[in-house]
Structure 1
């Protein structure tokens, strides 16, 4: 591999959940393509300092709050770059197009500009995922509780996980979940053998770590997630090209009695200098843990029992 160019990029997210893209100006490689604003990290410069500098130089704004997100290596014809993405939650100032570029606010899943810089396809898909991912536990608290909550407040996505359910029982429950979530625009992911899901109203399959490690190729679903616990399964998930990961357990949880939790430092360590996939923190967490999850590089928080209280 040629020398890797260290680059930082920021995804500005406004109050409506939209994100900002900018066009590459004339004179640069891929001129006219759209990208997330950012630029090269100078020697000895910290990534967050580079992010603040680039946004001030390019767009005239001052970044006030940002959290690390995804790290992706991409090989272009002219160079190999390591892109460190941040989500930018708060900034000050008025936008100034200081390099003659154009900007556009976009809604996740509804891109209206193009073409996109090749490295950014997976980033756009990650933006369609919510910060909170509820996981069903009907085998513990009953289907009625979960279906009632889903009808009252359909989430942007839900993961159906019901160990011990027969294929027929799971199919029936998935149909009930989908009837409450999908009409509102939400996604239904199911933790099961992919073969079980043929013909069911689902958007994706979630692979247990065992199924992930046994897989020879990515299952044929629009969305594929996976559970991981260490470097080996993380590498397999990246090679398989899944769309998101669950990593835990961060705090003590009844699902793993007596097992030592990772803690937030352990969670961040497992990501090993970043990850190209969005990672949900899992295990004993609540919506109130989102700030800690963001600060340690997570996509958000996956909730099991805490989602249905």
Structure 2
């Protein structure tokens, strides 16, 4: 049994990670300031004697005793990270500094949940880890994109300067139960609009692409990465390489929900990437991983979750 800290542990991904770590016999400390995380996401874990919750903002130092740290704390959808962009940057940068400082003091292994947004609006497709990205440093998404890029810099400098055991994963679009219904992400947007019979909003002509990974697959590879050999630091892309246009996704959601919603088209938001697809060759080679859940099966499970949530 390991004592493991999950920052952002009450969020969409964090709650699934806490659940998996408890299931596999660990003692988990969930740290969250509940800006986008929710107690409902972790309510079913509260009675477990090996699960503990601490309300804390990672932009302030934290003094606890743990063996592993998963650093997931940061608003991850444009609606939430653009609400307070200065705080978003602070969460990525100060949060990384504080979690790295804790790991250094404890000589703990630490994993950074980075993002495909470090690639910006890419000129290389699909995106390999060697690609440095094409990011606007002064745009409305920069607080998140550049914050996460700076966090990666800090992780690798702590590795080089202090021999810290780091792991860095770059998460591509992920979906599943416990997504926030109003987070502005395309899967939750389409599903909620379809269930409510509202118009489904598509930006541009709907030809921009994304690759969608079901949450169970993503959590599996995050845990594999944390427990991989010391000399494999990453960064490593984790996500599903199957690419879909926004129109294809909307049509699949309409089919699976049986909705009569209409498609409406609006202008593309600023700096919205036209393509996003991970090259996961490194994850296959080093971690023996590739996603198992196809989009239709994953969407079906996610739709069932939202039907229950929206009926409450």
- TM-score (normalizing by structure 1): 0.29
Structure with the higher fraction of residues in helix conformation: 2
- TM-score (normalizing by structure 2): 0.28
Structure with the higher fraction of residues in strand conformation: 1
